[in-house]
Structure 1
Amino acid sequence: MMKKALLVIDVQNGMFQEGNIVYQGERLLQNLKDLLVKARSTETPIFYIQHNSPAGMPLEYGTKGWEIHPDIIPKNTDVIIQKNTPDSFFNTSLDDELKKQGIEHLVIVGIQTEACVDTTCRRASSMEYKVTLASDTHSTWDSQDITAQQIINHHNRVLRWFADVYPSKDITFENGL
């Protein structure tokens, strides 16, 4: 059986700014908290990806907006990986850290659907990781042309080429999904 890890991408305070909260942010946090409980109960490794933006941006390194959201604070056994691009693997230690722990299967959640979540799913697949995307535990914002829900729905369909896509309630960290 493949060893799994939960990969939490960019769930940082800056994504929940008043007046500009990520689409269905409370639902995303609740689903994520439920997945974290499941993962911790089976001692599944948890990796947090933390985006470092330039000065003046919502995720500016070292600011309150850059910090991981307080509802999902990492434990001391969790690994935190810093990144500067949408690809959680590019110029980071993620692949090395996963290999150190013998991880072959990633359950991916987080923000932003069409950027960091999409890129990381595709990259993980091309690096021959098995990938599961929690269909209701990634999010974004409305764009000029389409709604956040349309973006999420589209990516849940398209990313089936690179990942198994299931609602968070159906994801386990034992035998099965």
Structure 2
Amino acid sequence: MTTLENRPNTALVVVDVQTGVVAGAHERDAVVANIGSLVERARREGVPVVWVQHSDEHLVRESEEWRIVPELVPGEDEPLVPKNWGDSFEDTVLESVLAGLGVGRLIVVGAPTDACIRSTLHGAVVRGYDAVLVGDAHTTEDLTAWGAPPPEQVVAHTNLYWSYQAAPGRTAGTVSTKEVDFTGTS
């Protein structure tokens, strides 16, 4: 379990599911639907939902591309964490938000797989969190023109290698949307 003291709670962390980030993403609609079902389930079960929203010179704050996709609407009482780096913890208030919620275990979903998702997962474990990736609730765009593998391979490889991650006193892993356990008992 987490190495963070007095952090028994789990949170669903929704990373960068923004119009411009997922516009051309692999299996976009299915991934957004899976994220939507997890958000609804987390709300029903009283699990905090924390939204992360990226901005930079290519994703300008307040632009249409910067907005969370229309299918997903953050609740008024759900924290929204602005960020400018891949790791959702880097130079943000995410750590203080999670500490305030007593969260030591993260269920991570969002985009893009090969940047912000991987960075956030690693950043979480390094900081003492347990971090679970939902394998069918993250995606990326096609970057094969720049030498990357096809997006389905990026997603599959990330799911594979994250299923074997762990660190002293911390757990990680990959589950499907249907397998998500917000209680942290498995």
After TM superposition, the score normalised by the length of structure 2 is 0.87
Matched residues in 2 for 1:68 and 1:49: separation?
Answer: 9
1:148: which partner in 2? 151
Q: 1:60-99 residue pairs with structure 2 within 5 A?
A: 60-99=60-99
Unaligned runs of 5+ in 2: 1-6, 167-171
Matched residues in 2 for 1:16 and 1:89: separation?
Answer: 21
> Over aligned residues, Cα RMSD in angstroms?
1.4
**Aligned amino acid, residue 44 of structure 1:** V
Q: Does 2:16 match 1:7?
A: no
The alpha-carbon deviation at position 23 of structure 1 amounts to 0.6
**Aligned amino acid, residue 171 of structure 1:** V
**Aligned amino acid, residue 97 of structure 2:** E
Matched residues in 1 for 2:116 and 2:178: separation?
Answer: 23
Q: 1:80-119 residue pairs with structure 2 within 5 A?
A: 80-119=80-119
After TM superposition, the score normalised by the length of structure 1 is 0.92
Aligned pair partner of 1:167 in 176, 180, 184: 176
Deviations 1:73-128 (A, max 9, x none): 10111100000010100100000110011001000000010100000000100111
Matched residues in 2 for 1:127 and 1:65: separation?
Answer: 30
Unaligned runs of 5+ in 1: none
Deviations 1:129-155 (A, max 9, x none): 011100010000222241100001111
Q: 1:7-26 residue pairs with structure 2 within 5 A?
A: 7-17=13-23, 21-26=24-29
Deviations 1:42-91 (A, max 9, x none): 1111110000121xx2x211111111111111011110000001010010
CA contact (8 A) 1:42 1:174 kept: no
CA contact (8 A) 2:22 2:141 kept: no
Matched residues in 2 for 1:176 and 1:34: separation?
Answer: 21
Residue identity over aligned pairs, in percent, reads 28
CA contact (8 A) 2:12 2:47 kept: yes
Matched residues in 1 for 2:52 and 2:181: separation?
Answer: 21
Aligned residues: 171
Structure 2 vs 1, CA of residues 16 and 135 (structure 1 numbering), >3 Å: closer, same or farther? closer
